[in-house]
Amino acid sequence: MAEPVEIRSRELFERLVTRAEALPILDVRNQDEFAAWRIEGRRPLRYLNVPYFGFIDEPERNAERVEREGDRWIAVCAKGDSSAFVADILRERGLHAVNLAGGMEAWGNLHVPVRVRSAADRLELWQINRYGKGCLSYLIRAAGEAIVVDASRHLDVYEQLLDENGARLVQVLDTHIHADHLSGGAELARRRGAGYYVAAGEGFDLRKDVAPPGGLTIDIRSIATPGHTPGSTCYLIDGRWLLSGDTIFVSGIGRPDLGGHVEAWARALFATLHRGVLSTLRDDVVVLPAHFASPDELDQDGVVQRRLGDIRAKSPELALSAEAAFVEAMRRAVKPPPEVYQHIIAANLSPSHVPDEKASEWELGKNQCAASAPSAARC
């Protein structure tokens, strides 16, 4: 049987993440794009970056160069067409080159639902992992009712989970107005006749404030956690799982500088972390965040989760117990966000529809929502 000439993003995920294979990656995008964002697996991968235009100018020389590095490759580009062109050239030389169908765009759009195993029997919890971008969303189901939190614009995955599990969607929540990806929350709620809620503190009056969870079988409590954004909200499920949005990640905290008011928002974040309700939660509450930065953050079941106590013990940002030192660390960690973030925020604040092509262009790349304060521990 002939070897496959292409691999789909879901299958590549199974091999690189679920099975932790170390497949070599030939990335044919230009150097800047490769440096900014690449395919990652559970194990470190071998990469070779040879831009595709080299195969137009000097196919022989570049194919030889690839061959010297190895004879098996997954070829990757932005959308999957240039890498298909390169893979053809390599296969003609007798190499085993398999093209990633749809390229990085498909990789960034792949959503994989993972059941959170420790959830109680009467309550089912899925973490939907948009692995390439490092975005996480959630579906909670109990007694035929469901809540979705931080839905992306790719609604198929949520609708399929709802249909397969016979659940009626009652609420769609966003923990905050996202800057790195477009929310699908309002549209999902509209399609399913559910309510859509974002905290009013996010600075708009189109949508309602978070409703009290009355009438639901799911025990969900909203906790105001300003800092990453003024209206950021965490949701405590069953008193045991904290959907922490971009406030706390398993290895750090959300950056408070995306709104251009780093001092004020950093003070709010400090209060959230050290004086608010969040600080009173028990150490054994399990944090389920809206992002991860590295594949290392996935546990053995493929879930991004960690006990709050472990995060408290290991996060240098949370160890800064003096407000002034915390604010200073956040101030020094300020970095300009990707330019498209302002467009994404504006789109998420308005009900206007963004065409798919534009949305894909805006959403390219990994999220940059975490505060990176490498010097924080030394402050």
Partner 1 sequence: MEKVLDARGLKCPMPIVKAKKELEALGPSDVLKVLATDKGSVLDMQGWAKANKHVSLIKQTTESDETGREVYVHYLSRLA
State which residue, 193 or 355, has the beta carbon closest to partner 1. 355
Specify the DSSP element, H or E, that contains 185: helix 185-192
Q: Considering only CA atoms, which of 154, 74, 67, 69 is closest in space to residue 112?
A: 154
User: Other CB atoms closer than 10 Å to residue 20's CB: what's the count?
Assistant: 11
Q: What is the DSSP string of 285-316?
A: PEEEESB-SSGGGS-TTS---EEHHHHHHH-H
Nearest approach, Cβ of 48 to partner 1 (angstroms)? 16
Strand order in the sheet with 220-224: 220-224, 233-237, 241-245, 286-289, 306-307
Active site residues: 77
Nearer to partner 1, 79 or 221 (CB): 79
Q: Which is nearer to partner 1, 30 or 217 (CB)?
A: 30
Rounded to a whole number of angstroms, the minimum distance from the CB of residue 112 to partner 1 is 26
Tell how strand 96-100 and strand 6-7 pair up: parallel
The pair of three-digit structure tokens given for residue 16, joined into one six-digit string: 């690189």
Binding stretches for partner 1 (CB under 8 A): 30-33, 51-57, 77-79, 81-82, 85, 361
By C-beta, is 105 or 238 nearer to partner 1?
105
Q: Tokens 């949370």 identify what position?
A: 318
